[in-house]
């Protein structure tokens, strides 16, 4: 039976959820942040799950209206400040993947602070993809090793990536069926699940059902068995 050791989620639909309810898009993001906590806590209690990677802000999200981007930056800082105690309570190690140099100095410091204070935690690893794009990640990895004297191997390139672990299961909420530049290297043999559920409506029950369905899939990794 398969084990979903590394689950990655494209959390789509916050804005649409709010608009459907006649609310401001910001309210959708607020509710979405609460769902992040619920899903993370659920995963931390599942012994089979080692890593949870969440697509929080992509390199393309800078194209959104300025006020929405500014709000998302404030929400991210607020989330991390408030979540530190919860990370420690549930033995969760936080890490950021992506190029956080584009963020304000204050937000960068908050990210680094939470990473440092949870570094000793040895339970679930929650990774937030922040200013992340898989193509950008690969380019930055190549630049890190471009002066390497020997032939570049798969292992060397993988070790230069932000996210160094293959993904078992990718879930996308919100109804779209694409990866949107998310973990392209790590998802080489990931199983893909798409749901029409908007992220603020995504529940631990739905996640549990997806994981159950995942365990029944025959994963051959290019072979016959």
Q: Which residues are catalytic?
A: 12, 61
Contact yes or no for 5/51 (Cβ under 8 A): yes
Spatial contact of 49 and 124, defined as CB atoms under 8 Å apart: yes
Retrieve residue 144's tokens: 């890190």
What separation, in Å, do the N-terminal and C-terminal C-alpha atoms of the chain show? 13
Spell out the residues 6+ positions from residue 90 whose beta carbon is closer than 8 angstroms to its own: 40, 41, 44, 45, 123, 124
Report H helices in 53-182: 66-89, 105-117, 134-145, 154-160
Helix (H, G, I), strand (E, B) or coil at 216: coil
């Amino acid at each position: 039976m398969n084990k979903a050791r590394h689950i990655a989620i494209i959390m789509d639909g916050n804005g649409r959820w709010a608009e459907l309810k006649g609310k401001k898009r910001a309210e959708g993001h607020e509710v979405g942040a609460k769902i992040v906590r619920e899903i993370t806590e659920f995963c931390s209690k599942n012994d089979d799950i080692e890593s949870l990677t969440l697509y929080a802000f992509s390199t393309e999200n800078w194209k959104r209206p300025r006020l929405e981007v500014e709000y998302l930056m404030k929400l991210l800082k607020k989330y991390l400040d408030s979540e530190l105690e919860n990370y420690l309570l549930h033995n969760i190690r936080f890490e950021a993947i992506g190029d956080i140099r584009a963020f304000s100095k204050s937000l960068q410091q908050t990210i680094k602070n939470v990473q440092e204070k949870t570094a000793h935690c040895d339970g679930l690893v929650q990774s937030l993809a922040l200013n992340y794009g898989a193509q950008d990640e690969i380019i930055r990895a190549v630049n890190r090793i471009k002066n390497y004297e020997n032939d570049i191997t798969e292992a060397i390139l993988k070790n230069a990536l932000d996210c160094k672990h293959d993904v078992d299961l990718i879930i996308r909420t919100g109804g779209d069926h694409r990866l949107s530049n998310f973990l392209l290297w790590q998802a080489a043999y990931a199983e893909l699940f798409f749901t029409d559920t908007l992220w603020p409506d995504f529940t631990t029950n739905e996640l549990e059902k997806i994981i159950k369905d995942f365990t029944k899939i025959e994963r051959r990794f290019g072979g016959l068995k």
